[in-house]
Structure 1
Amino acid sequence: MPIPETTGAFAIVPHNDLPGAIPFWERLGFARTGGDSAYIIMTGWGCEVHLTQAGAGPWRVPEEHNPFGVFIRTPEVDAIAARVDDLVVRPGGVLRHREWGLYEVGICGPDGMLVRIGWPSRLMREPATAGGDPA
């Protein structure tokens, strides 16, 4: 699958174990679409995430607290949440409409990184569906 022609800002996420992080992103519904052994481009759900190997210096991921996070903005919140129910941050991250206007879920990613998946509550189809295609 080639890198799509899209516009936007995409997160570059450092991982302590880059090869080990790829299955996590694939489980969310992303596919590898570019990069090399030290920098990987993953695409799915109409967006991209770029992965890099953490190391010394500004990309070092702390052992006890990871300051990095990713927000995936897609109407397919239910479909992604169903793929990773065992990774949902409980109790606070469970799938629901939030007071700030988003229907979202919070999951624990590689290296303890917070990954939130959400869509504006006012734009959600009623009832929320569990289907969808990540491509």
Structure 2
Amino acid sequence: MSDTEPTGAFAVVPSNELASAIPFWERLGFSRTGGEDEYVIMEGWGCEVHLTQAGGGAWGVPAENNPFGVFIRTPQVEEIAARVEEIAARVDDLVIRPGGMLRHREWGMYEVGISGPDNLLVQIGWPSSLIKGG
């Protein structure tokens, strides 16, 4: 764990193949900071995401229509946007289109949607009102 622990809530995301989910989060700029074989803690952009190997029952992840999603609410969205070329090179094939590019949305968020492992929706954003020119 880092010296400055993230505060607030974080997602525990089930994955049908935990081993393939880790590289996805690394592509986004997260790094593994803890956990074990079936439960991994990833940190990046001032927050945590916990990944767990899905089993049967309540944690089972369907092949389609995944009910799980993660919204990464970070003030670093401008910094991320400034590095969009670098980040896009890592995740451009995963950006949800049409309309998936980083932009101000009518619901007041500056965000982008990315398709994650097992059709997980990963949104990255920050309130438009807190961004200069938003």
Q: Same fold (TM over 0.5)?
A: yes
Following the alignment from structure 1 to structure 2, what is the Cα–Cα distance between the partners of residues 60 and 67?
10
1:26-37 alignment runs, 5 A limit: 26-37=26-37
Separation (CA, whole Å) in 2 of partners of 1:2 and 1:34: 10
1:40 aligns with 2:23: no
SS in 2 for 1:111: helix
What corresponds to 1:121 in structure 2?
Answer: 128
> Does the 8 Å contact 1:31/1:43 carry over to 2?
yes
Q: Relative to 1, partners in 2 of residues 1:58 and 1:87: Cα closer, same or farther, differing over 3 Å?
A: same
TM-score by length of 1: 0.86
Q: How does 1:73-84 map to 2 (within 5 A)?
A: 73-77=73-77, 78=81, 79=83, 82=88, 83-84=90-91
Aligned residues, how many? Answer: 127
Task: Show structure 2 runs of 5+ residues with no match.
Answer: none
Q: TM-score, normalised by structure 2?
A: 0.86
Per the alignment, residue 117 of structure 2 pairs with 110
Offset at residue 7 of structure 1 (A) = 1.9
More helix by share: 2
Q: Structure 1: any 5+ residue segments left out of the alignment?
A: 128-135
* Cα-Cα RMSD: 1.9
**CA spacing shift, 1:37–1:4, aligned 2, 3 Å:** farther
